[in-house]
Amino acid sequence: MLELRDLSCRAGGFTLAGVTLSIGVGEYFVLVGPTGSGKTTLIRCVAGLQPAAGGEIILGGRAITRLDPAERHIGFLPQDYSLFPHLSVEGNILFGPSVRRIGAAEAGRRLRELAGMLGIGRLLRRGTGALSGGEQQRVALARALIVHPEVMLLDEPFSAIDPGMRVRLWFEIREVLKRLAVPVIHVTHNLEEASAVADRVGVLIGGRLAQAGPRDGVLLRPATEAVARYLGIKNVFGGEIVSLDGGAVTVRCGGGSFVAPRAPGHRLGDRVGVCVRPQDIKIIKEGKPLREDLRDNVFEAVVASSYFSNDSCSLAVRSFLDFELRFPAYIYRRHGLAPGRRIRIGVLRSAIILHAPPGAEGDGSPRLS
């Protein structure tokens, strides 16, 4: 297990502050966040390439915070792969065992095993200059894994890979690392990539871990407005609780209101943030019975604009607030959703997320989902 306890690190004028996190054996943890949020600083600090300014790094029960990188037993795959151009593929992979004085027979056994797992057996005699981006990535990963690291750190491992190959490699590399059962921290800015490979996700914002938890808990239920906005959710509004009724609260926003689930601590007059994922707003079909979860939040709206990406559609509509909806592209054609079309929309009550307003979200410590 890898544990970070109140870890801080400084890089130039940037400070990564108070990160507390644990990653279990065989767990695939993905770290996301805006550019400049401290993702690479964090894993460089764990690897020993950046000194810790405070806190502790514990690996397998031993403190490694002050150890040199070579003493930490950590595998690190940098963004540029950093292969040695003067060595063959085989020479690159066997560099670590030679430094650590692993016997030739054992190093050869590990080489054959990894070459088979990663599908690079045919490349071993080649120079690194003749490799594609995907081949370089596999070779760099084999070089990191051959010394049997206790944890694996991946820094934007797919950023140099052609889009057509990238998705296949997401699952192949995850499968290899899962088979080896080492804790993994995988840094990426690609939310689709994070969703595809992660067991758990952490969101770094401004040098602080804003939220960490199971993948779906973080990506579907952002804990703060800052996390919601980073995830690309545009339906984020300020409001005031104007009614409490059993397990529900009514929140006034602009010229309308939402009925949302009540949480412990909600009080009349509280200022809250309202967050609704675009997938959780539905177009109401005339003459069809309403789902129970939609009945409290049905609004008149006018289609303003649309945007298509692959087989999905994002729709901007104007109501008492401006909303974004997202749904499969065929829904656009089925409902004739051209600009100017008047429609009714419904917001799933169970999907409405209420946040503390900006400035009242606490000290940046992670919200566990």
Q: Are 340 and 303 in contact (CB under 8 A)?
A: yes
The owner of tokens 């943030």 is 273
Residue length of the chain: 369
Which among 8, 5, 25, 26 is positioned nearest to 17, based on CA atoms?
8
Q: Which amino acid is at 143?
A: R
Tokens representing residue 289 in the block: 């019975």
Residue 178 and residue 193: Cα distance in Å, rounded? Answer: 16
Q: Report which of 88, 89, 75, 177 is spatially closest to residue 139, judged by C-alpha positions.
A: 89
> pLDDT (tens digit, 9 = 90+) per residue, 13-29?
899 999 999 999 999 99
pTM of the entire predicted model: 0.88
**2-226 is a CATH 3.20.20.70 domain:** no
Measure CA of the first residue to CA of the last residue in the chain; give whole Å.
20
Q: Which amino acid is at 259?
A: V
Longest dimension (CA), the chain: 76
Which spans in 211-346 are helix H? 215-220, 225-230, 329-335
DSSP single-letter state for residue 195:
H
The domain defined by 235-355 carries CATH number 3.30.460.30: no
Confidence (pLDDT) at 160: 77
**Side chain identity, residue 51:** P
**DSSP element (H, E) containing 63:** strand 62-63
Q: What is the chain's alpha carbon radius of gyration, rounded to the nearest angstrom?
A: 24
Q: State the CB neighbour count (10 A cutoff) for residue 163.
A: 7
Distance CA 43, CA 186 (A): 9
Reported as a single tens digit per residue, the pLDDT across 245-295 is 989 999 999 889 999 999 888 999 999 999 999 999 999 988 888 899 999
pLDDT at 254: 86
Question: What ranges do the domains of the chain cover?
Answer: 2-226, 235-355
Query: Residue 355, SS3?
Result: strand
Q: Calculate the CA dihedral of residues 307, 310, 311, 317 and round it to 10 degrees.
A: -10
CA–CA distance, 124 with 120 (Å, rounded to integer): 7
Cβ atoms 270, 360 nearer than 8 A: no
58 touches 130 (CB < 8 A): no
| Sites in the chain below the pLDDT cut of 70 | 358-369
Contact 304, 352 (CB under 8 A): no
Element at 145 (helix H, strand E): helix 133-145
Token pair listed for 312 = 């999905």
By the 8 A CB rule, do 133 and 160 touch? yes
Instruction: Return the closest-CA partner of residue 193 out of 30, 356, 20, 26.
Output: 30
Per-residue pLDDT at 304? 97
Distance, in Å, from the CA atom of 361 to the CA atom of 356, rounded to the nearest integer, reads: 5
Compute the distance between CA of residue 8 and CA of residue 218 in angstroms, rounded to an integer.
23
